[in-house]
Amino acid sequence: MDARYQQIARLLKSSIASGELAAGARLPSSRTFARENGVSRATVEHAYAELVAQGWIERRGQAGSFVSDTVTPGSALPAASLTEGTDNIPQPFQMGLPALDLFPRALWGRLMGRRLRTQTRFDLGPGDVAGERLLRQAIVDYLRFSRSIDCTPEQIFITASYAMSMTLILRTLATAGDGMWVEDPGFPLIRPVIAREQVRLLPVPVDENGMNIDAARALHPQARFVLLTPAHQSPLGVALSLPRRRQLLDWAAHREGWIIEDDYDSEFRYHGKPLPPLKSLDAPQRVIYAGTFSKSLFPAIRTGWIVVPAPHVAAFRRQAAMYPCTVPGLVQLTLADFISQGHFWRHLKNMRQHYARRREWLERALKQQGFDVAAQQGGIQLVIAVTDDDKQLAARANQAGLAVQALSAWQIEGGERRGLLVCFTNISSAEMAEQLAEKLSKAIRPASATHGAAMD
CATH number of the domain at 76, please: 1.10.10.10
Q: Is 113 domain-assigned?
A: no
Q: How far apart are CA 353 and CA 348, in angstroms?
A: 9
Check whether residue 152 and residue 298 sit in a common domain.
yes
Q: Is 302 domain-assigned?
A: yes
100, 293, 316, 406 from 365: Cα distances, Å: 22, 30, 48, 20
Look at residue 415 and tell me whether its pLDDT is greater than 90: no
Average pLDDT, the chain: 87
H/E stretch holding 397 reads helix 390-399
pLDDT for 61-74, tens place per residue? Answer: 778 888 887 665 55
Look at residue 175 and tell me whether its pLDDT is greater than 90: yes
Confidence of residue 427 (pLDDT cuts 50, 70, 90): very high
Closest by CA to 256, choosing from 142, 352, 341, 178, is 178
Spell out where 331-432 has E strands. Answer: 372-373, 381-385, 405-406, 419-423
Check whether residue 140 and residue 276 sit in a common domain.
yes
At residue 271, the pLDDT reads: 61
Confidence of residue 89 (pLDDT cuts 50, 70, 90): low
Q: How far apart are CA 263 and CA 364, in angstroms?
A: 28
Of 293, 316, 341, the last residue of a domain is: 341
Q: Is 346 domain-assigned?
A: no
Of 282, 313, 341, the last residue of a domain is: 341
Check whether residue 155 and residue 276 sit in a common domain.
yes
Check whether residue 319 and residue 202 sit in a common domain.
yes
Q: Is 121 domain-assigned?
A: no
User: What is the domain-level CATH number for residue 150?
Assistant: 3.40.640.10
Give the pTM.
Answer: 0.78
Check whether residue 36 and residue 152 sit in a common domain.
no
Q: What domain range is 213 assigned to? A: 126-341
At residue 428, the pLDDT reads: 87
Closest by CA to 61, choosing from 438, 346, 378, 381, is 346
Q: How far apart are CA 381 and CA 311, in angstroms?
A: 37
Check whether residue 272 and residue 253 sit in a common domain.
yes
Q: Is 417 domain-assigned?
A: yes
Q: How far apart are CA 63 and CA 41, in angstroms?
A: 18
At residue 3, the pLDDT reads: 65
Check whether residue 372 and residue 253 sit in a common domain.
no
Look at residue 450 and tell me whether its pLDDT is greater than 50: no
Check whether residue 195 and residue 321 sit in a common domain.
yes
Of 313, 341, 369, the last residue of a domain is: 341
Mean pLDDT of 204-225: 95
Check whether residue 267 and residue 187 sit in a common domain.
yes
pLDDT for 216-234, tens place per residue? Answer: 999 999 999 999 999 888 8
Check whether residue 131 and residue 14 sit in a common domain.
no
Q: Is 429 domain-assigned?
A: yes
Q: How far apart are CA 399 and CA 403, in angstroms?
A: 9
136, 239, 291, 316 from 156: Cα distances, Å: 6, 25, 11, 10
Mean pLDDT of 239-264: 93
List 204's β-bridge partners, or say none: 183
User: What's the number of domains the chain is made of?
Assistant: 3
At residue 84, the pLDDT reads: 37
